[in-house]
Amino acid sequence: MSAVLQLSNVVKTYGDLRALDGIDLSLPDDSYVSLLGPSGSGKTTLLRVIAGFEPPEGGTIRFSGKDVTNTPPHERNIGFVFQNFALFPHLSVYDNIAFGLVNRAVDPVTDPKLVDRKVRDMISLVGLTGLEGRATTQISGGQKQRVALARTLVTEPQMVLLDEPLGALDANLRARMRSELRMIRERCGVTFLHVTGSETEALAMGDTVLVLDRARIAQQGDSDTIYNRPCSPAVARFLNCYNLFSGKMADGGFATAQGLLGFQGQPQRAADPAYAIRYDRVDIRPAGAAVTGDEVQIEGTFIASEYTGSAVNAFFSLDDGKVFEVEAHLSHRAPENHEPHRRYALAWKREDALVFA
Ligand SMILES: Nc1ncnc2c1ncn2[C@@H]1O[C@H](COP(=O)(O)OP(=O)(O)OP(=O)(O)O)[C@@H](O)[C@H]1O
């Protein structure tokens, strides 16, 4: 697949702060890319630099093979969808969508018939047929999201940047709009770069997931790779599905406050050593239960559990006060009741552990 966007060593500073610290990335054409990162990691800054709203202090940005580092935003042919939608409240759905087409700086469409055809095609593509005449103050959050997207897509950008596009929607609608956005993107065939602070959203939506950590790209890969093989403790922590133990490599395992924890294979290289085990790889057993040679076992005191519909998340307190989480998928096993304040054995297979050293 060819690359639509390539950044090499892009640096953006605000005073003494490096908001982007040498970003290298290459995004495939015709794909959905999620950009995930903790608050303040530089996600919005990266979008703004790609769009051309902020000039970088260093590095180059190539778009469709062309150097656009110093090209003004309206000449880049990159669309931007803002979190708050930024619709014109005094214009109808139809006129909001037509606005960008008629008023764009480069190559505005002036033939009313052509405008009408393009706007109506777009209204149908995003599923707004019937609402053309409504004011944007008289439609729902999900419909506003579609108007914002349609207004960008109608200008036929080669790529669309979306800054937390689902952030203003309630949880139910957000889940529904995930698949809608993916479908709309597939129909128009351009690359979407979607910023989110939610790991579940990033993994569910992205063909490619980029993880930004402290102004740098920490990892780029498909969802499966990011989820199952995070390349650093920081990425694993941010995915919110791994228990992490700090410690160091020792004879026969990884030494932690919980004792020596076994693992298989070679550790991954990382600046901050850690041992990671996924929440859903752990088995809860009675305290003192027997372990096999290929398992690791520690003990903890049950605190509480949380029912999420498809899974139960159980929380245990370890002897050093650390909270350890176990996720039991209800499609795999029936829900179990655990007794508060009681000790349990927490066991997992050595081969399921990830070690960074
Ligand atoms: N205009 C600005 N002037 C000064 N500092 C800024 C400016 N914009 C962003 N920053 C700083 O740059 C860093 C990255 O900010 P950015 O908004 O890109 O992060 P983010 O990952 O999008 O965060 P969030 O998820 O909270 O929106 C932060 O430390 C922020 O305070």
Complete domains list, the chain, with CATH: 3-228 (3.40.50.300), 241-356 (2.40.50.140)
Closest alpha carbon to 30 in 184, 162, 146, 188? 188
The per-residue pLDDT for 192 is 96
The per-residue pLDDT for 35 is 96
Q: Report how far ligand 1's centroid is from the alpha carbon of 103 (Å).
A: 30
| Ligand 1 atom with least separation from CA of 197 | 25
Determine the residue type at 356: F
Q: Report how far ligand 1's centroid is from the alpha carbon of 40 (Å).
A: 5
Q: Give CA–CA dist 104/191, Å, rounded.
A: 21
ipTM over 0.90? The verdict is: yes
Q: Which residues of the chain have pLDDT under 50?
A: none
The per-residue pLDDT for 1 is 65
Q: Report how far ligand 1's centroid is from the alpha carbon of 45 (Å).
A: 6
Using alpha carbons only, give the angle 169, 172, 174 rounded to the nearest 5 degrees: 45
60-to-24, 41, 140, 273, 353 alpha-carbon distances in Å: 9, 20, 40, 33, 39
- CA nearest ligand 1 atom 2, residue: 14
Residue keyed to tokens 């395992």: 253
> In the chain, what is the straight-line distance between the N-terminal and C-terminal CA atoms, in Å?
34
Residue 150 and residue 178 in contact, taking contact as beta carbons nearer than 8 Å: no
- CA nearest ligand 1 atom 26, residue: 39
**Contact 42 CB / ligand 1 (< 6 Å):** yes
Rounded to 5 degrees, φ, ψ at 122 are: -70, -40
Closest alpha carbon to 215 in 16, 44, 70, 19? 19
Q: Give CA–CA dist 29/142, Å, rounded.
A: 27
pLDDT digits (tens, 9 = 90+) for 14-41: 999 999 999 999 999 999 999 999 999 9
Structure tokens that stand for 22 in this block = 């040498």
Determine the residue type at 17: L
**Contact 43 CB / ligand 1 (< 6 Å):** yes
The per-residue pLDDT for 5 is 96
pLDDT digits (tens, 9 = 90+) for 201-210: 999 999 999 9
How many C-beta atoms surround the C-beta of residue 152 within 10 A? 21
**Contact 19 CB / ligand 1 (< 6 Å):** yes
The per-residue pLDDT for 110 is 84
